[in-house]
Structures are given as structure tokens and as C-alpha cells.
Chain A
Amino acid sequence: LAKTTQPISMDSYEGQEVNITCSHNNIATNDYITWYQQFPSQGPRFIIQGYKTKVTNEVASLFIPADRKSSTLSLPRVSLSDTAVYYCLVGDDSNYQLIWGAGTKLIIKP
């Protein structure tokens, strides 16, 4: 099961684009990369998932280089409500044990 490494914390300002990078050197061929957002005293919420290249949805983009050893979550034009902890996970449907790291605490300032 691939482990992930993320920065412990990041700060940014409203209206900026924020990029959070996750390292996953041991990612397996079948693994997907998934990002979650968690607010205090709530369960994590799925943000985006990808396998390679670029994925975009209504809230974020996910960039995955060709070697897939890292991925970058991009949040466009953040607001104060984006202050949360962001987790990166790797695995596929055979990995019933999803490994959660400590995540990245993102603080958005006015």
C-alpha cells in the first residue's frame, strides 16, 4: 500500500490559486489518486480523483505527471471557506485499507 507525503501546512490569501503537492513514490500501476477535504468535527469529503495527466471538476484540478510519483491538487481562487485539511490517498478497489496521512492544513487569510 503506497504511502503519501504532503506538507503539514500552507497559508494563502483569498482569490489566490493554491497548489498542494503530494508525493507517492511507491504508487502501483492500478492505483488511483484521490483527494479529500475535511473541516473540523466533520467527516472527510471527496474532492477529486485521477489516474494520469489532468482531471478537472467544478471545485478543483488534479495534475499527475507521467511517472505518477506525485500529484498536485489545484484550488482556483480560494475563499476563506476553503480553510480545511486536505488529504491525498492512493489505492485501487482492491486496497480495502486506505492509508491516511496527517494531511495538509490549509489556512486562507482575508
Chain B
Amino acid sequence: DGGITQSPKYLFRKEGQNVTLSCEQNLNHDAMYWYRQDPGQGLRLIYYSQIVNDFQKGDIAEGYSVSREKKESFPLTVTSAQKNPTAFYLCASRLGSQGRSTEAFFGQGTRLTVV
């Protein structure tokens, strides 16, 4: 089955600690995204990547870092510089320039809580 997988589903972080959220896709998509969603709000873009070894900041990149060493993987690190990291994090992928489509596929999300 093709899809996009995020792990873990729940994550607890102590203050001052870095944590890494995993995102893997086997859809052969070029573009991958990380979003943050706060309760009752829409999705806000953290980072996105159009191709391997390239990524761009979104609207709320401060306190986060990413890498794109493989087409299938786009991990997100929440650093200690992110002062309010408790949120629901969503990873997505798209075909990108292979199709005139805005259809994105999402993982099931990671709920991060600072304890």
C-alpha cells in the first residue's frame, strides 16, 4: 500500500530538549511538507521541500529544522528554540511538478506535548 507514515503518534518533550518527528512516503512524490496545527486553527506551514537536498522555510520556521537526504524521508526536528511546541504536527506530500494537481496526501499526525 502506498502512503505517508508519521511516527510517533504521540510524543512528549521536556523543556530544553530537541525531538525529531519522522515522516516517510512511498508515493514517489517530489514535494513534502510539514505543518503545525493548533486547536481550532487551520494548518500553518513550517517547512517544505520540492526535491532532495533542498528545502524552504514556511511561515513559522523559527525553532524548527528539517533535512531531505532521501526522496522518501523528510524528518522535522523541534529544537529547544521553539518556545511553544505543543501542537499537532502534520506531514504531507504531493506529486509536485509531475501533475497539475494540488492533491496532497497527509500522514496521521504527531501530537507533541511539552511536559
Tell me the A residues contacting B by CB distance below 8 Å: 30, 32, 34, 36, 41-46, 49, 87, 89-98, 100-103
Contact = CB atoms under 8 A, between A and B. Distances in A.
Contacts of A42: 108-109
Contacts of A41: 88, 109, 111
Contacts of A45: 106
A53 to B, nearest CB: 17
B88 A100 contact: no
Given A93-B95, A93-B97, A100-B42, A34 B108 contact: no
B21 interface: no
A43 to B, nearest CB: 3
B48 A44 contact: no
Nearest to A45: B106
Interface string B83-115: 000001010101111111111111111010000
